[in-house]
């Protein structure tokens, strides 16, 4: 039987693939996008604000990039034919009787997988790490869907306001109702809510109906049972607490590989209240069926706890020559509460957690952020509205890191840092999380390239499980090396537990085979705490 796989283009770098064990739930795939990994810097996109469905004013790419973009789209169409054949084999259904092309594509895919896995294994055997042998990234995994067309799939939830929750899902049946029934006991639905649904097109691909329904008001720290579209399975969610303590899981650059599955398994092994993701979700990279596969992969966790996300470079998917606007799939599938925070764009927003004890700001690295831009003006208003006497914790997430000693993606966050860093510093932001660099790195508190205990702590956590591999090389003599406290190129996830108004603990959990090992831990004191406020006032008097 052929393993379920995507064809991979001939320019796929060897470090993108590895062998993995196929299970009934996770079927290995191969795919890659070599161009995005080597971007010289973030592509600044002036996307239409509002619902995000309009066209963006983008500079035309070079002819070379345009041709590559068209080639990728055509290749994705060929992959869909391979995927159909592979899905049949994965489910044990006979492929006898399908036309010869399906068998040929399937055989080619299988041969390519064996060749690439063999070459990658050879490269891996020649590589050694300092502490333990780190395997290369696993190939993509495919989570299939073989249930009726009206059966909800890709279910995920997000917070809306203080006591509401948005339920999002997809149905192949585009006429399925956008209704959620819910209650506090299994099968006993005492309330229901109706929302909306829409579809989008991307080249030859047309999505299923993408439903969004807001339910509530809901009680805090309460378990609810719910059903989507009056069909399919019952799901269970727990609402976040209305006060401290609260535990936030943070993962970046997630993707859908064997390492992704490992990270998700480690996260599910311990309790938490909410998950934050600073960009690069599915790594679909124009291959739209991978958005569907990703949604099914994360559904067990994303349907049970709120997932609050912001976009990364892999969400852009813009092809100006073919008139594909940026973020079409991302905005359609992952609707965040931007309107509630006064933002006109789904690409940046904010929300309160723990009854307002924490304020979380999600910024967009790939939409205009310069002074005078809508995002910059919105951020200034949003931070000015935070009362630190009522909200002792201020957390920011973005994709491209402002501080980075890794060789990968050097300087790609510099323009945004120059435009926005002072706003975060003056608001006394406690911690800034980013992704993009496929490694873990924690810095001390910083402002303007110098250590400053009144500035945010910067943490890069772009190691969720992406297919592009780890960023292994840190620059020892980097200008920011003296500010970097801990660095390691390993897959993993982090947890921020805000204990009370003054103290929080951050832990980074490295993926050691089947285990999540705590490799870094640090306690944080809120910059709004009376002690630090008094120290800051004393320093200002000394300076005067």
Distance between CA 387 and CA 461 in Å, rounded? Answer: 28
Give me the helix-helix angle, 289-302 and 63-90, nearest 10°. Answer: 60
Distance between CA 327 and CA 195 in Å, rounded? Answer: 22
Cβ density class 350-363: b for 16+ within 10 Å, e for less: bbbbbbbbbbbbbb
- Residue 257 gets which letter from DSSP? B
Give me the helix-helix angle, 374-384 and 414-426, nearest 10°. Answer: 20
**Beta strand 450-451 with 440-447: parallel, antiparallel or unpaired?**
antiparallel
Distance between CA 107 and CA 100 in Å, rounded? Answer: 11
Q: Point out which residues pair with 1 in neighbouring strands.
A: none
Nearest CA among 391, 305, 397 for reference residue 356:
391
Distance between CA 312 and CA 157 in Å, rounded? Answer: 20
Q: Are 456 and 432 in contact (CB under 8 A)?
A: yes
Q: In what order do the strands lie in the sheet with 234-238?
A: 191-194, 179-183, 223-228, 234-238
Which of 110, 211, 409, 509 is catalytic? The answer is 409
Is 85 strand, coil or helix? helix
The position carrying tokens 């089947």 is 514
- Residue 289 gets which letter from DSSP? H
Report how many helices (DSSP H) and strands (DSSP E) the chain contains, helices first: 9, 26
- Rounded to 5°, the CA angle 36-41-44 comes to 95
Nearest CA among 121, 182, 165, 173 for reference residue 148:
173
Is 144 strand, coil or helix? coil
Q: Which residues, 6 or more positions from 426, have their beta carbon under 8 angstroms from its beta carbon? A: 383
Q: Is the N-terminal amide bond of 217 cis, ω within 30° of 0?
A: yes
Q: Is 225 noted as a catalytic residue in this protein?
A: no
Half-sphere exposure of 110 (CA within 13 A, CB side): 14
- How many CB atoms are located within 10 Å of the residue 434 CB? 27
Q: Which residues, 6 or more positions from 311, have their beta carbon under 8 angstroms from its beta carbon? A: 279, 327, 330, 347, 364, 365, 366, 399
Residues with a known catalytic role: 409
């Amino acid at each position: 039987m052929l393993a379920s796989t995507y064809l991979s283009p001939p320019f796929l770098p060897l470090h993108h693939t590895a062998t993995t064990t196929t299970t009934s739930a996770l079927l290995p795939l191969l795919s890659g996008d070599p161009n995005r990994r080597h971007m010289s810097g973030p592509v600044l996109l002036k996307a239409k604000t509002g619902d995000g469905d309009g066209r963006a004013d983008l500079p035309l790419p070079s002819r070379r990039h345009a041709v590559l973009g068209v080639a990728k789209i055509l290749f994705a169409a060929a992959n869909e034919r391979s995927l159909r054949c592979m899905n049949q084999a994965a489910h044990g259904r006979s492929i006898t009787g399908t036309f010869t092309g399906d068998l040929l594509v399937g055989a080619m895919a299988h041969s390519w997988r064996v060749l690439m896995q063999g070459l990658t294994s050879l490269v891996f055997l020649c590589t050694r790490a300092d502490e333990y042998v780190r395997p290369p990234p696993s190939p993509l995994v495919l989570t299939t869907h073989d249930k009726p067309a009206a059966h909800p799939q890709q279910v995920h939830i997000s917070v809306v306001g203080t006591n509401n929750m948005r339920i999002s899902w997809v149905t192949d049946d585009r006429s399925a109702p956008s209704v959620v029934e819910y209650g506090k006991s299994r099968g006993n639905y005492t309330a229901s809510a109706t929302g909306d649904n829409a579809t989008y097109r991307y080249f030859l691909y047309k999505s299923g109906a993408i439903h969004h329904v807001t339910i509530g008001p809901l009680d805090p720290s309460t378990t609810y049972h719910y059903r989507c579209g009056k069909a399919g399975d019952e799901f269970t969610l727990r609402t976040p607490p209305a006060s401290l303590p609260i535990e936030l899981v943070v993962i970046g650059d997630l993707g859908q590989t064997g390492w992704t599955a490992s990270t998700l398994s480690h996260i599910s092994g311990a309790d938490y209240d909410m998950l934050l993701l600073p960009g690069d979700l599915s790594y679909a990279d124009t291959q739209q069926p991978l958005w569907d596969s990703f949604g099914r992969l994360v559904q067990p966790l994303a349907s049970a706890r709120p997932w609050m996300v912001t976009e990364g470079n892999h969400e852009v998917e813009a092809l100006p020559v073919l008139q594909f606007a940026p973020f079409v799939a991302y905005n359609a599938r992952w609707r965040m509460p931007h309107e509630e925070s006064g933002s006109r764009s789904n690409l940046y927003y904010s929300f309160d957690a723990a009854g307002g004890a924490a304020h979380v700001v999600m910024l967009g690295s790939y939409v205009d952020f310069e002074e005078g831009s809508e995002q910059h003006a919105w951020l200034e208003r949003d931070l000015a509205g935070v009362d630190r006497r009522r909200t002792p914790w201020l957390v920011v997430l973005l994709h491209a890191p402002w501080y980075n000693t890794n060789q990968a993606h050097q300087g790609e966050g510099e323009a945004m840092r120059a435009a926005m860093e002072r706003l975060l510093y003056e608001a006394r932001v406690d911690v800034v999380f980013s992704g993009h660099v496929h490694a873990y790195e924690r810095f001390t508190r910083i402002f303007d390239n110098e250590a400053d205990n009144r500035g945010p702590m910067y943490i890069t956590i772009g190691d969720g499980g992406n297919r592009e591999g780890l960023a292994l090389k840190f620059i020892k003599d980097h200008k920011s090396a003296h500010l970097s406290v801990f660095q390691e190129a390993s897959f993993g996830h982090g947890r921020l537990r805000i204990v009370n108004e003054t103290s929080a603990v951050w832990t980074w959990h490295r993926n050691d085979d089947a285990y999540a090992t705590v490799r870094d831990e640090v306690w944080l004191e809120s910059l709004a705490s009376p002690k630090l406020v008094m120290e800051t006032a004393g320093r200002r008097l000394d300076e005067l």
